Amino acid sequence: MKKILTILLVAILASATLFAVDISGRFRAGYTFNFNEGVTVTEWKSEEAKFTFKVSDDAGIWTINIKDFRGDLDSNDKLGANLSLNMAALLADNGVDLGDVSLAVSIGANDQMTALSAYNDVTGDGLFKLKNDGLHSTEIAVGYGSVIQTKIAVDPTSEVTKKMPLVVSAMTTPVEGVSLSVGYAYNGYMYTANKAAWGTKTEGSVDHGVTVATNVNVGTLAGLDFDLGVTAYDNIGFVGKDSTYNSFAAAVYGGVDVVDAYFEFRMDNTKDADVAADNVFGMKSQVNFNVVENLGLDVFFNIGNFETVGETFEVGGDVSYTVSGVEFAANLKYAGGGDEAGFSVTPKVIVVF
């Protein structure tokens, strides 16, 4: 038995020298205490843990991404996964140097593939994304340095709509500090800040979708000692003959090492007989203070709809301290309406690895 265990240990150590295994993710948990008309307590987030599991070769040619890393296999001991293949690195490993040209392919369990975007997502909510609505897409990415990057992803299977979901996009950075992107999706998927656009959600399928985005960092262009930029995107989705959804946002951001801030303006336009809201204007703003090492501090003010400011505004702040890789944080917020109306406090703990 000892010999068998020794052989297995040697085999594992030997394989570790050939392949790189990367397990990353996060754990987060906490409670929200709402003090509106008494005290109610709810969980801060559902699904506390998130994992990504990747296996790659040391040459950087291929990476296998395990999609369903949940500890359970199907009847044939299989997991959903996709393969990312760096064709430029593969060719270089075999004596063919493409220079500044990049070439990559991804195939396997690729569901909703995202178009390239130049938008600087200052809020981090990801509403700028335009995707195809596939389940098993193949994606090809071709680029030339930072001058031009292109991607096309298509799902040839008929598991969703029998329409071969497609997304194609391109992004260019002609000079450092300036980026521009365009994209198109057939049988696509897009987001909106206005829940009324999709009935009760902030996302939905579209027959056709187009996106354009830009980012201009004046601080980088002018060689300034501080960051100062403007970024914007416009996503338009078409459903049937009469329904159109337009999601637009523009943001100003900047700052120095000790303090930085952003202001994002949002507009959602809906043309649909089944939706009451036609135009919704909102905004998000935040100031971050980076004064003490490992101490996070910010204040924010958001308005979901300028026409109903009293019901859709929220103001508050976040404070956190990270020690030994563990982040202890708290969110304090006052909301004007909705499920989170009133004053609330959310203590939480987060571990990212």
Do the domain assignments include residue 58? no
Do the domain assignments include residue 56? no
In degrees and rounded to multiples of 5, residue 218 shows phi and psi of -65, -35
* Contact in structure between 196 and 168 (CB atoms under 8 Å): no
Q: For 137-161, write each residue's pLDDT tens digit.
A: 999 999 999 899 999 999 988 655 5
Question: Looking at residue 199, what is its pLDDT?
Answer: 67
Q: Is 47 left (phi over 0), alpha (psi -120 to 50) or beta?
A: left
Do the domain assignments include residue 140? yes
Domains identified in the chain, total number: 1
For residue 31, give both structure tokens: 């409670």
Do the domain assignments include residue 72? no
Question: Looking at residue 337, what is its pLDDT?
Answer: 82
Do the domain assignments include residue 83? no
Angstrom CA distances, 148 to 110, 142, 176, 231, stand at: 24, 8, 13, 19
Spatial CB neighbours of 81, under 8 Å, sequence gap ≥ 6 = 64, 65, 66, 67, 68, 108, 109
Question: Looking at residue 338, what is its pLDDT?
Answer: 75
Q: How far apart are the C-alpha atoms of 146 and 100, rounded to whole Å?
A: 9
Do the domain assignments include residue 259? yes
Q: How far apart are the C-alpha atoms of 115 and 169, rounded to whole Å?
A: 5
Do the domain assignments include residue 74? no
Burial environment of residue 1 by CB neighbours within 10 A (0 to 12, 13 to 18, 19 or more) = exposed
Domain around 183:
31-49+97-352
Q: How far apart are the C-alpha atoms of 138 and 134, rounded to whole Å?
A: 10
The pTM (predicted TM-score) of the whole model is 0.86
Q: Which residues of the chain have pLDDT under 50?
A: 1-5, 7-9, 11-13
Residue 332, domain CATH: 2.40.160
* Contact in structure between 283 and 252 (CB atoms under 8 Å): no
Do the domain assignments include residue 121? yes
Strand locations in the chain (E): 19-34, 40-43, 49-57, 62-66, 81-86, 101-108, 130-132, 138-144, 148-154, 166-175, 178-191, 203-217, 227-239, 243-255, 259-271, 279-289, 295-303, 313-323, 326-335, 342-352
